[in-house]
Amino acid sequence: PVKFNLGTEENIRRYGQSVPPEYDLSVINSTNIALIYAANDWLNDIRDINLLKKTLKVKLMDDYLVPDTTWNHMELMWAQDVGKYVNTKILEILHKCH
């Protein structure tokens, strides 16, 4: 993944190069990371999620793929079953933190 693309001129000013640099995800050392994602997400493609998981060098608190394969990015917040599939999982993760 790369930093936000601000356009060539602003990229040069901010990043010192015409294209945004990549984030070095391998230096993340937090052990408080949980992934909750949907298979049909048009913003966070499952291939990108898998790449993130391979790149992170820490154990995840949780790695949860919503079991409904029709869910996309917006369902993670707005779906009728968000309580069943997402909120319950978030509460479970939070209980692990104590």
Q: Same domain for 76 and 86?
A: yes
Beta bridge partners of 64: 36
The 10s digit of each residue's pLDDT in 37-68 is 999 999 999 999 999 999 999 999 999 999 99
Q: How far apart are CA 95 and CA 2, in angstroms?
A: 33
Domain containing 24: what range?
1-29
93 and 46 belong to one structural domain? yes
Contacts of 51 (CB under 8 A, 6+ apart): none
Q: Has residue 97 got a pLDDT over 90?
A: no
Instruction: Clarify whether residues 40 and 77 are in a common domain.
Output: yes
Domain count for the chain, please give it. 2
Query: If you average pLDDT over residues 4-13, what whole number do you get?
Result: 94
Helices (H), 1-98: 8-15, 46-55, 75-78, 82, 88-96
- For 31, other C-beta atoms within 10 Å of its C-beta total 9
The verdict on 38 and 65 lying in the same domain is yes
Indicate whether 83 pLDDT > 90: yes
Please tell me whether residues 8 and 23 are part of one structural domain: yes
- Percentage of residues in the chain having pLDDT higher than 90: 84
